Structure 1
Amino acid sequence: MEMLRQIQLNIPQMDALMEMPGYAKIMKDLMSQKFDFQDLSTVTLTQTCSAVVTRPMVQKVSHPGSFTIPCTIGSYAFAKALCDLGASINLMPLAIYTKTGIGRARPTSMMLQLADRTVKRPTRILDDVLVQVGKFVFPTDFVILDCQVDEEIPIILGRLFLATGRALIDCETGELKMRLNNEDIIFNVQQSMRRPSEFANLLASGGRGCDTARGG
């Protein structure tokens, strides 16, 4: 028995957290105010989010309230996730949800209104997805929408995600700081906008992404 206590196992952080059913709920309750997407009958998307949902327009994503960061969901690495301070939701295309195979989504009656006033109906909502940004892991709810995948910025993270990460943005230096307890991680937002996307190759090859996110 003493010998068994001395055995150490090296398990990737995300794999270990996925085996802890209560982790996502506890973290969300501690770090963010509870928010039920079902309370929203219609959600209006920003012009930037609408552009991503309707067609690839990465070259036009230059609004000071939007930028990109690298993140990892499960075993898939996204070099660029679009962070939009004006977005009240986190958005994931149906094709990416199907590709990653993460969790069981629930039905929703929510409607999304785009910047041009057209309305789209999301397919489902995915609760408590563990999103890794550098050394931090944040539980996140995603609205799943059947739309064209923008290969440069395939997912959108809204202000609720940024609030959970206690994000601070320095517009003068172009730095984004995310904090958890007494630790923080800093990204250069201007540099992150110029990084190549990895998910385009992933979709083409059907392969798996990297195990860890880059950045920090």
Structure 2
Amino acid sequence: KFAPMFKKLLNNKDKLIELTKTPLNENCSAVVLKKLPEKLGNPGRFLIPCDVTGLDNCLALADLGASINLMPLSIWKKLRLPTLNDTKMVLELADRTISKPTGVAKNVFVKVGKFYFPANFVILDFVADPRVPLILGQPFLSTAHALIDVFEGEITLRHDD
């Protein structure tokens, strides 16, 4: 009863083998053939050497994830910047704590190389790393036309002239 079916299958085995071949798309092929790029480590952080009047040769952390520029209250006092503007802003920190900024310092000039960039800083009472007291977020990076090359570990700031 099954003999004719097996005979038919054996006579058409080339067709069966052909039907069992499943083409892989190029992503799957890359995985199978181990042609994926080498996974690289964390490039670290992007630090920008900068000068702010009264705070020479400091480093600022370039943070693409920050929607504000941040300055510790102690640095603001040291710089003797003009009066702070009030703010109703409330910050949720990475550890989920809520913090109320002291105010906003507007039009603080940050010198990078030979160029000056204006920036608004949210002033917050926190203990900063003395080597890297400022955080420059998206507003500054946008103003400075920042180009970030993560692979090379380079950040390029440009000034409109």
TM-score (norm 2): 0.70
Task: Give yes or no for the alignment of 1:102 onto 2:78.
Answer: no
Alignment of 1:36-47 (within 5 A): none
Deviation by residue 1:73-117 (Cα, 9 ceiling, x = unmatched): 113214311110000000000000001102221111111101121
State whether structure 2 residue 91 is matched by structure 1 residue 112.
Answer: yes
Gapped regions of structure 2 (runs ≥ 5) = 1-40
Alpha carbons 1:65, 1:86 under 8 Å: kept:
no
Separation in 1, partners of 2:159, 2:52 = 18
Contact 1:65 1:84 in 2 (8 A): no
Equivalent-residue separation in structure 2 for 1:98 and 1:169 (angstroms): 31
Aligned to 1:156: 135
User: 1:172 Cα shift?
Assistant: 2.0
From 36, 48, 55, the equivalent of 1:69 is: 48
Q: What does residue 88 of structure 1 align with?
A: 67
Work out the CA distance in 2 between the residues paired with 1:144 and 1:169: 26
1:63 is displaced (CA, Å) by 6.2
Normalised by the size of structure 1, how large is the TM-score? 0.53
The amino acid across from 1:83 in the alignment is A
CA offsets 1:28-82 (integer angstroms, 9 cap, x no match): xxxxxxxxxxxxxxxxxxxxxxxxxxxxxxxxxx965841111111132143111
- Structure 1 residues 126 and 76 mapped into 2: Cα distance closer, same or farther (>3 Å)? same
- Alpha-carbon spacing, 1:119–1:128, altered in 2? closer, same or farther (3 Å): same
Identity %, equivalent residues: 49
Cα RMSD, aligned residues only: 1.8
| In structure 2, C-alpha distance between the alignment counterparts of 1:132 and 1:160, rounded to whole Å | 15
**Correspondence for 1:208:** none
Q: What is the CA–CA distance in structure 2 between the aligned matches of 1:90 and 1:63, rounded to whole Å?
A: 23
SS in 2 for 1:180: coil
| Alpha-carbon distance in 2 for matches of 1:151, 1:133 | 19
Partners of 1:96 and 1:109 lie apart in 2 by: 21
CA distance in 2, matches of 1:63, 1:119: 29
Alpha-carbon distance between aligned partners in 2 of 1:86 and 1:120, rounded to the nearest angstrom: 18
The residue identity in structure 2 corresponding to 1:124 is G
Rg larger for:
2
CA distance, structure 1, for counterparts of residue 82 and residue 48 of structure 2: 23
Q: Given residue 127 of structure 2, which amino acid in structure 1 is its aligned partner? A: Q
| Structure 1 residues 65 and 128, CA gap change in structure 2 (3 angstroms) | farther
2:124 equivalent in structure 1 = 145
Question: Which whole-Å CA distance do the structure 1 matches of 2:152 and 2:42 have between them?
Answer: 16
CA distance in 2: counterparts of 1:107 and 1:140, whole angstroms: 16
Partner of residue 101, structure 2: 122
User: Moved runs in structure 1, 4+ residues, more than 6 A?
Assistant: none
